[in-house]
Amino acid sequence: MTALRGVLPITLTPFTDDGSVDESSIDTLVEDYLAAGAHGLTILGIMGEAARLLDDERDAVLRRYLRAVDSRVPVVAGVSARATRVAQEYARRAEDAGAAAVMLAPPDNVKNLELVFEHFRRVAESVSVPVVVQDEPVNTGVTMPAPFLVRLLDEIEGCRYLKLEETPTLPKITAVRERAQSQVGIFGGLGGLYLYEELLRGADGIMTGFGFPSVLVRTYELFTAGERGAAQEFFFRHLPLIRYEAQLGVGGVTIRKHVFARRGVIASPHARFPAPPVDQRTLAELDDIIRALGL
């Protein structure tokens, strides 16, 4: 079983201007991610607009990504759903298609953590690939404290990885590292805002979207090569763009799609409604930052 580590971008689901899934742009996206040095890919995540896909579209996106990757790097497939039975079915389909792992968030707005625990247990036991526990309280409405996350990771054999999205991620990384008895892989997120500090805290990498994934890869590679000063300087230099792209309330994934479209990686920046549009002033500011960084 391939261990997950490094930069595993949350991939986009590209659409045509009329809102149909653009499978040909999936192929160009895969080549761009891999050319940037990505150590794996995470598909059908929140930034991949998975919740806006019909079931047949989910299957098409899953299979197209796996075919385009062609086993060159591990692929993690998002399988989150409000019902445990639906998440189990998504997980089985992902495993059957060839995903190396599945990523699972708690069902939306379930405040009873015993029910959340049972949700993870049942999904993990329905597949043989590892589960990445996604801690995402903003979108799910479910807060999972560090002791509960440790319990999930220690008591459910299939839960091998943790992806943190709660702000701040740093104290949770430390808490899980200090308390977990099992071997756990920990990944940051949040658009890459805290990548350098997350690595200092013991994170194994990051699962997040960003318009220039090579920036995250280079930061990780410098850090793991022991060149921490160079990693910090390189990361800090690109923080203005990471910060600007992370304006979820302004445009969220739409900003990121505009970056990839400007780079010629996808044919259209279309994001499915009700994704908010991005105005021309925002795009002009985005272009100004990209020019200033020489990207």
Residue keyed to tokens 């890919």: 41
Q: pLDDT, tens digit, for every residue of 23-72? A: 999 999 999 999 999 999 999 999 899 999 999 999 999 999 999 999 99
Tell me the average pLDDT across 12-31: 98
User: What pLDDT score does 1 carry?
Assistant: 53
What's the pTM?
0.96
**Residue 103 is assigned to a ligand binding site:** no
Task: Cis check for the bond before 168: say yes or no (omega within 30 of 0).
Answer: yes
Q: Which residues neighbour 150 within 8 Å (Cβ) at sequence distance 6 or greater?
A: 175, 176, 179, 180
For residues 108-129, give the mean pLDDT.
Answer: 97
Q: What is the DSSP string of 24-89?
A: HHHHHHHHHHHHTT-S-EEESSTTTTGGGS-HHHHHHHHHHHHHHHTTSS-EEEE---SSHHHHHH
Two structure tokens written together for 135: 């801690």
Q: Is a pLDDT exceeding 80 seen at residue 247?
A: no
pLDDT score at 116: 98
Query: Which pLDDT does position 142 carry in this prediction?
Result: 96
Count of CB atoms situated within 10 Å of the CB of 226: 9
Confidence of residue 277 (pLDDT cuts 50, 70, 90): confident
pLDDT of residue 27: 98
Helix residue spans in 131-279 (DSSP H): 137-140, 146-155, 170-179, 195-200, 213-224, 228-245, 253-262
Q: Given this model, what pLDDT does residue 246 score?
A: 84
Packed helices 146-155 and 170-179: angle between N→C axes, nearest 10 degrees: 40
The pLDDT value given to residue 151: 97
Res 2: pLDDT = 66
75-78, strands of its sheet edge to edge = 6-7, 205-206, 185-188, 159-164, 131-135, 101-104, 75-78, 41-43
Task: For each of the domains in the chain, give its residue range(s) and CATH number, in order of start.
Answer: 6-212 (3.20.20.70)
DSSP result, 167-191: SS-HHHHHHHHHH--S--EEEE-GG
Percent above pLDDT 70 for the chain: 98
| Alpha carbon distance, N-terminus to C-terminus of the chain | 36
Nearest to 62 by CA among 74, 48, 77, 51: 77
Q: How far is CA 179 from CA 4, 66, 172, 182, in A?
A: 21, 35, 10, 9
Nearest partner of 44 among 16, 25, 64, judged by Cα: 64
Is residue 251 predicted with pLDDT exceeding 80?
no
pLDDT beyond 80 at 80: yes
More confident residue, 245 or 36: 36
Please give the average per-residue pLDDT across 227-235, as a whole number.
98
Q: How many angstroms separate the CA atoms of 231 and 235, rounded?
A: 6
Please state, in angstroms and rounded to a whole number, the distance separating the CA atoms of residues 75 and 228.
28
| pLDDT tens digits along 262-272 | 999 999 999 99
pLDDT averaged over the chain? 95
pLDDT of residue 216: 98
Which region among 80-84, 227-231, 253-257 has the lowest average model confidence (pLDDT)? 253-257
Give 153-205 pLDDT, tens digit per residue: 999 999 999 999 877 789 999 999 999 999 999 999 999 999 999 999 999 99
pLDDT at 133: 98
Decide if pLDDT at 248 tops 80: no
Q: Look up tokens 């409000």; give the residue.
A: 82
